[in-house]
A and B are shown apart, each in its own frame.
Chain A
């Protein structure tokens, strides 16, 4: 059997080398330094047509990560809301949530992406008839234009205060926990943290004379210039991924909450805990233990599904690297291998982070 595997591997390698040789395709990773020569509509780092394929790879990777992170955040929020709504005592709300889940789960994601892109976002009005919000946010078929905040001199102090407040909150929490264990007295950590992390930077911001101005988008000619722009492809992909994954997360959340037996909350009530602390200290920690493992696989799925970007030409890794770059260089083996390795690594990173979190939340058995 081992012999068969080795023989098979040898045949594949020799065939591949012969084929590459015949088609005059170079091999190796030298192409990463060659000039790419095509433009990318969304790049978070410096990029131009003179940039190399290595830069293309980096831009694509960043775009994949950004859309995945945004998708994960919104899917989690929406999924938790719908999951809780499904368990609601209110018959109407729980039915609405059920209908949402059953419809969204059973329709292919690619179809949903196409729907949002071609049937919704492409049908929006042009720049001149943009949908306007607060006079400074514009939404049209070219994307979402918002004011771009530009920090002035002295804004650095706000950042410094912000990070200092986070560190201080961390220390206060430790101190409060210790004090509660020793004396039983509680300290309002949450409100202190709120004041420190949000209030203090605002105070510093005002004291420094508000060192921030906004760059507003303005209609010049046929399109808006200035401001910050979210391209429709990004909005569509993030929207479709969040809506689709939220349906799965909702089911996971529902199963997790149902897994906590009713006796737990009854016992907590009997101990004199009010509704809020019961939920926060008794039910949610136990539900999370059931929720986290399947939630991890949903996050992984979302990240992998973000590769559907190629269908609507959002410039993610698969689209610009395994698509355009592959077509231009023809180096299929290297490029597909790199792309797969990247997704594989992303998967490993997410699952090891979630495993770490799961271990932290797991039941400590004595």
Chain B
């Protein structure tokens, strides 16, 4: 302060003054973002109170009070027999194999693991920007991998033992349903979207009817339909597996949603593109396959990923028609008389796994959205 008095009388340049301490640094940030007004002050207090109410009990439950070691459920119980008010992680440890693979025979589980490795190995190059053969890898993942996986999982050829689908379960079954749904629903969705924009009235009416009907009803009714009505539609003696019926239901259901996403992309392509392709003498399929769809699909990738996330969450519904997906096996462990009562632990674990999958997919979609946003 004394410096200022002496300096201010002289002409010439002066060094800049640092801003007031209360507007910069941590203090300034807190003032601007947490305590700028009485209302804001109150909101901060409310936020702190909420965090205080929620976070410490969760940390206590999941880490501090939790039971980490032991090999029998008794370690997780009080004297009286009821479960303790803390996470019982030995429950997860005990059931881990069942939660991951269901009743799939232990000696055959290498088949599932090798399919996982194949899938991951195929997916990693897709995330490397400089990798050249992404197209071929995608074709392999979309068309070749499902065939290999089918022969691996079901067995019956190449000297592999047959594993009946009722034995499939756990996270493995969830992934089978989700990936099949994703792989099947995208092409059907594209065809439906093209059909909806077709000039042929009957094709258009059929597509509109299919899409709107499927979108207007809950997935449960579709699954009920596929489990009780499909068998009636088939000729005598022909019988589909329960898993295949559920897969058909899930795939058709998400195809209808996919069709609407793709239609959004198709509508955003200016008409000049189609006309220009026509002027070059391209046929309808060439126009669509080479000009329109590549642009349209690129535009709606975030929407497609969001549909995938929805599909992934919806796979849990198959437990209602009696399949043992990841949530289904968790429910099944609770009926075990020895291990009953650890609902919270089981659900929190399941929620964590589902959250990891969905959250990473949504982050990836946001990343793509930013990358593909080439507009102004």
Q: Which of A22, A92, A103, A318 contacts B221 (CB 8 A)?
A: A318
Q: Which residue of A lies closest to B234 (CB)?
A: A15
A105 to B355, CA, bound (A): 9
A5 to B43, CA, bound (A): 62
Q: Does A236 contact B (CB under 8 A)?
A: no
Q: Is the CB of B320 within 8 A of A310?
A: yes
Q: Which of B33, B314, B315, B327 contacts A91 (CB 8 A)?
A: B33
- 18 more A-B residue pairs beyond the given contacts A88-B43, A304-B219, with a C-beta to C-beta distance below 8 A: A12-B233, A15-B232, A89-B40, A91-B33, A92-B51, A93-B44, A106-B309, A106-B358, A106-B362, A107-B358, A111-B316, A111-B327, A111-B354, A318-B218, A322-B221, A333-B232, A339-B221, A343-B216
Binary contact track A1-31/B, C-beta < 8 Å → 1, others 0: 1100100000110011011101000000000
A5 to B203, CA, bound (A): 11
Q: Which of B51, B217, B358 contacts A96 (CB 8 A)?
A: B51
Q: A5-B206, A114-B327 are in contact. Are A89 and B344 (CB under 8 A)?
A: no
In the complex, number of A-B residue pairs with CB atoms less than 8 Å apart = 147
Q: Which residues from A are CB-within-8-Å of B159?
A: none
Give the size of the chain B interface in residues (CB under 8 angstroms): 53
Q: Is the CB of A119 within 8 A of B221?
A: no
A339 to B222, CA, bound (A): 10
Q: Which 9 A-B residue pairings sit nearest by Cβ, starting from the closest? A: A106-B358, A92-B47, A304-B218, A91-B33, A108-B313, A332-B228, A307-B218, A344-B216, A347-B216
Q: Which residues from B are CB-within-8-Å of A92?
A: 33-34, 43-44, 47-48, 51
Q: Is the CB of A102 within 8 A of B359?
A: yes
Q: Does A353 contact B (CB under 8 A)?
A: no
Jot down 30 A-B pairs with beta carbons below 8 A, ordered by A: A5-B206, A16-B232, A89-B33, A89-B40, A91-B33, A92-B43, A105-B358, A105-B362, A107-B313, A107-B351, A108-B313, A108-B314, A108-B316, A109-B313, A111-B327, A111-B351, A114-B327, A114-B331, A114-B347, A115-B344, A118-B334, A307-B221, A308-B220, A332-B229, A333-B229, A343-B217, A343-B221, A344-B216, A347-B215, A348-B216
Q: A106-B355, A111-B347 are in contact. Are A19 and B46 (CB under 8 A)?
A: no
Q: Does A340 contact B (CB under 8 A)?
A: yes
Q: Which residues from A are CB-within-8-Å of B313?
A: 106-109
A308 to B327, CA, bound (A): 14
Q: Does B231 contact A (CB under 8 A)?
A: yes
Q: Is the CB of B46 within 8 A of A89?
A: no
Q: How far is the CB of B78 from chain A (nearest CB, A)?
A: 14
A340 to B216, CA, bound (A): 8
Q: Which residue of B lies closest to A244 (CB)?
A: B313
A336 to B354, CA, bound (A): 30
Q: Is the CB of B33 within 8 A of A103?
A: no
Q: Is the CB of A336 within 8 A of B233?
A: no
Q: Is the CB of A93 within 8 A of B217?
A: no
In this complex, which of B219, B314, B355 has the most chain A Cβ atoms within 10 angstroms of its Cβ?
B355
Q: A16-B232, A111-B347, A114-B327 are in contact. Are A311 and B44 (CB under 8 A)?
A: no
Q: Which residues of A contact B (CB under 8 A)?
A: 1-2, 5, 11-12, 15-16, 18-20, 22, 88-93, 96, 102-103, 105-112, 114-115, 118-119, 122-123, 304-305, 307-308, 310-311, 318, 322, 326, 332-333, 336, 339-340, 343-344, 347-348
Q: Which residues from A are CB-within-8-Å of B44?
A: 90, 92-93
Q: Which residues from B are CB-within-8-Å of A1?
A: 203
Q: Does B235 contact A (CB under 8 A)?
A: yes
A318 to B217, CA, bound (A): 11
Q: How far is the CB of A3 from chain B (nearest CB, A)?
A: 12
Q: How far is the CB of B312 from chain A (nearest CB, A)?
A: 8
Q: Which of B33, B43, B217, B362 contacts A340 (CB 8 A)?
A: B217
What is the predominant secondary structure among interface residues of chain B facing chain A? helix
Q: How far is the CB of A153 from chain B (nearest CB, A)?
A: 45
Q: Which residues from B are CB-within-8-Å of A318?
A: 218, 220-221, 224
Q: Does B109 contact A (CB under 8 A)?
A: no
Q: Is the CB of A119 within 8 A of B344?
A: yes
Q: Which residues from A are CB-within-8-Å of B100?
A: none
Q: Which residues from A are CB-within-8-Å of B217?
A: 304, 339-340, 343-344, 347
Q: Which residues from B are CB-within-8-Å of A90?
A: 33-34, 40, 43-44, 47
Q: Is the CB of A343 within 8 A of B218?
A: yes
Q: Which residue of A lies closest to B315 (CB)?
A: A108
A108 to B313, CA, bound (A): 5
Q: Which of A109, A118, A305, A307 contacts B343 (CB 8 A)?
A: A118
Q: Which residues from A are CB-within-8-Å of B216?
A: 340, 343-344, 347-348
Q: Which of A19, A332, A344 contacts B213 (CB 8 A)?
A: A344
In this complex, which of A18, A96, A114, A339 has the most chain B Cβ atoms within 10 angstroms of its Cβ?
A114
Give B286-343 interface residues, CB cut-off 8 Å to A.
Answer: 309, 313-317, 319-320, 327, 331, 334, 343
A105 to B361, CA, bound (A): 12
A106 to B310, CA, bound (A): 9
A91 to B28, CA, bound (A): 13
Q: Which residues from B are CB-within-8-Å of A114?
A: 327, 331, 343, 347
Q: Does B114 contact A (CB under 8 A)?
A: no
A20 to B229, CA, bound (A): 11
In this complex, which of A107, A304, A347 has the most chain B Cβ atoms within 10 angstroms of its Cβ?
A107
Q: Is the CB of B232 within 8 A of A332?
A: yes
Q: Is the CB of A107 within 8 A of B354?
A: yes
Q: How far is the CB of A268 from chain B (nearest CB, A)?
A: 20
Q: How far is the CB of B360 from chain A (nearest CB, A)?
A: 9
